């Protein structure tokens, strides 16, 4: 339920919130009738409602592939996160997970709540995976031509699942002790997601294959921050992690500029704007350790509704970077590095020439609607 106080404070959020609610209902109505696809899309709505909405930007064949890619990696992550599984059992499963997706009878009971359902009924995901790339006769002919040039959806998902499983298995047996360890682990669990999506976009025939380095940055920028509470030092550690994430922004912008397909562009751009917005909220914020810190639903709805072009992306990155810059405390050990990274982002946005082509909905001097109208 939308918070009435938030609507009164930000009445301009009402319209995009209503549109988002209607879009969510429409997405739920579009769940396929086939049992395995119905399970996959229903499960996607349960484990990530926001992703289930963003994925609607894509055409049907690519949407199906990305849905399965997401659920396969969610299942892999569920195995890794389940602390009740002994390492000698967990490691072989992680390493072999890429082969299990071809077995429509395989499942492994672990996890909790919706994730347990996903694992118990994983055979539905496997059946859907095995159908990727199949369609009408004319589509199959076209697909046969495409696969001569491009990696298939199945090959892309298998490859990334194998590499991620190997990486996760490595860190089951090894602690993250250094910055290099942290960067390597993040590559396995987040950077590879970016590489996988690039492979899927390429397999669809709609996009060129992006360089691994910038695809990796697209995934890393979306990586969730992890924290440990320890007063001042914990906030400084948090700030260091945000500062590190900002180094990937330039690659992310390059990646999005190169996208040709409007649907793929929106699918990529919306989460990236959400990521920079979340970083701006989390930076130097002790509340991160005391509860959930995330963008208000109205602002999220605006991002989904209004992200149409690179002008919108540059504008959002510019505004959120300004917001983040205003929170940098000069006494923080990484203050200089944070400011340098932010200045670089602001410069990129200014030099794009796109800032004058949009109206900011992130930083506003006054609301667009009178509160009484609500």
- Alpha carbons 57 and 270: distance in angstroms, whole number: 10
For the cut 90, the answer to whether the pLDDT of residue 292 exceeds it is: no
- Alpha carbons 159 and 175: distance in angstroms, whole number: 25
- Alpha carbons 270 and 285: distance in angstroms, whole number: 23
Q: Phi-psi category of 59—alpha, beta or left, where left has phi over 0 and alpha has psi -120 to 50? A: beta
pTM of full prediction above 0.75: yes
- Alpha carbons 343 and 121: distance in angstroms, whole number: 48
User: Nearest 10 degrees: CA dihedral of 311, 313, 316, 322?
Assistant: -90
Report DSSP state, residue 104: T
Instruction: Give burial (CB, 10 Å; 0-12/13-18/19+) of 179.
Output: exposed
Cβ neighbours for 206, distance < 8 A, ≥ 6 positions apart: 62, 260, 261, 264
Q: What sections of 121-248 are H helices per DSSP?
A: 123-131, 137-149, 153-172, 179-186, 192-203, 212-221, 231-246
pLDDT tens digits, 343-372: 999 999 999 998 877 667 776 544 443 333
- Structural tokens at position 132: 């990727």
Q: How many residues does the chain have?
A: 374
What percent of the chain stands above pLDDT 90?
A: 66
In this prediction, residue 252 has a pLDDT band, given cuts at 50, 70 and 90, of very high
**In contact, 4 and 296? CB cutoff 8 Å:** no
- Alpha carbons 40 and 32: distance in angstroms, whole number: 9
pLDDT tens digits, 36-85: 999 999 999 899 888 888 998 898 899 999 999 999 999 999 999 999 99
- Structural tokens at position 180: 């290099």
Buried b (16+ CB within 10 A) or exposed e, 337-349: bbeebbeebbebb
In this prediction, residue 6 has a pLDDT band, given cuts at 50, 70 and 90, of confident
**CB-CB neighbours of 161 under 10 Å:** 24
- Alpha carbons 324 and 312: distance in angstroms, whole number: 18
User: Nearest-5° angle of CA 98, CA 103, CA 107?
Assistant: 85
Q: Phi-psi category of 346—alpha, beta or left, where left has phi over 0 and alpha has psi -120 to 50? A: alpha
pLDDT tens digits, 296-351: 888 999 999 999 999 999 999 999 999 999 999 999 999 999 999 999 999 999 99
Residue 149's pLDDT is 36
Instruction: Give burial (CB, 10 Å; 0-12/13-18/19+) of 68.
Output: buried
pLDDT tens digits, 167-189: 999 999 888 888 889 889 999 99
Residue 231's pLDDT is 66
- Alpha carbons 119 and 114: distance in angstroms, whole number: 9
- Alpha carbons 160 and 195: distance in angstroms, whole number: 8
pLDDT tens digits, 111-169: 999 999 999 999 999 999 999 976 433 344 444 444 433 459 999 999 999 999 999 99
- Alpha carbons 290 and 218: distance in angstroms, whole number: 29
């Amino acid at each position: 339920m939308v918070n009435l106080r938030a609507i009164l404070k930000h009445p301009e959020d009402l319209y995009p919130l209503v549109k988002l609610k209607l879009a969510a209902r429409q997405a739920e109505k579009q769940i396929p009738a086939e049992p395995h696809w119905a399970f996959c899309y229903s499960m996607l709505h349960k484990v990530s409602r926001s992703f289930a909405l963003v994925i609607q930007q894509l055409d049907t064949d690519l949407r199906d592939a990305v849905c399965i890619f997401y659920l396969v990696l969610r299942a892999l992550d569920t195995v890794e996160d389940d602390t009740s599984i002994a390492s000698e059992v967990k490691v072989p499963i992680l390493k072999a997970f890429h082969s299990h997706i071809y077995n429509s009878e395989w499942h492994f009971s672990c996890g909790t709540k919706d994730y347990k359902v996903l694992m118990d009924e994983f055979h539905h995901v496997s059946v859907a995976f095995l159908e990727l790339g199949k369609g009408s006769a004319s589509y199959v002919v076209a697909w046969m031509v495409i696969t001569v040039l491009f990696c298939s959806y199945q090959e892309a998902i298998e490859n990334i699942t194998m590499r991620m499983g190997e990486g996760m298995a490595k860190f089951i047996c090894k602690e993250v002790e250094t910055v290099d360890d942290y960067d390597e682990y993040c590559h396995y669990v987040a950077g590879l997601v970016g590489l996988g999506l690039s492979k899927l976009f390429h397999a669809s025939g709609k996009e060129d294959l992006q360089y691994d380095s910038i695809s990796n940055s697209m995934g890393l920028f979306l990586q969730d921050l992890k924290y440990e509470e320890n007063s001042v030092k914990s906030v400084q550690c948090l700030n260091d992690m945000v500062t590190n994430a900002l180094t990937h922004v330039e690659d992310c912008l390059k990646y999005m500029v190169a996208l040709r397909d409007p649907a793929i562009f929106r699918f990529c751009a919306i989460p990236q704007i959400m990521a920079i917005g979340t970083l701006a909220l989390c930076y130097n914020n002790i509340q991160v350790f005391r509860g959930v810190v995330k963008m208000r639903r109205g602002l999220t709805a605006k991002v989904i509704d209004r992200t149409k072009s690179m002008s919108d992306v540059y504008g959002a990155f510019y505004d959120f970077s300004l917001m983040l810059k205003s929170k940098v405390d000069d006494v923080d050990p990484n203050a200089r590095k944070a400011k340098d990274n932010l200045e670089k982002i602001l410069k990129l946005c200014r030099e794009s020439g796109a800032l004058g082509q949009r109206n900011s909905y992130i930083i506003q001097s006054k609301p667009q609607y009178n509160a009484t109208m609500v």
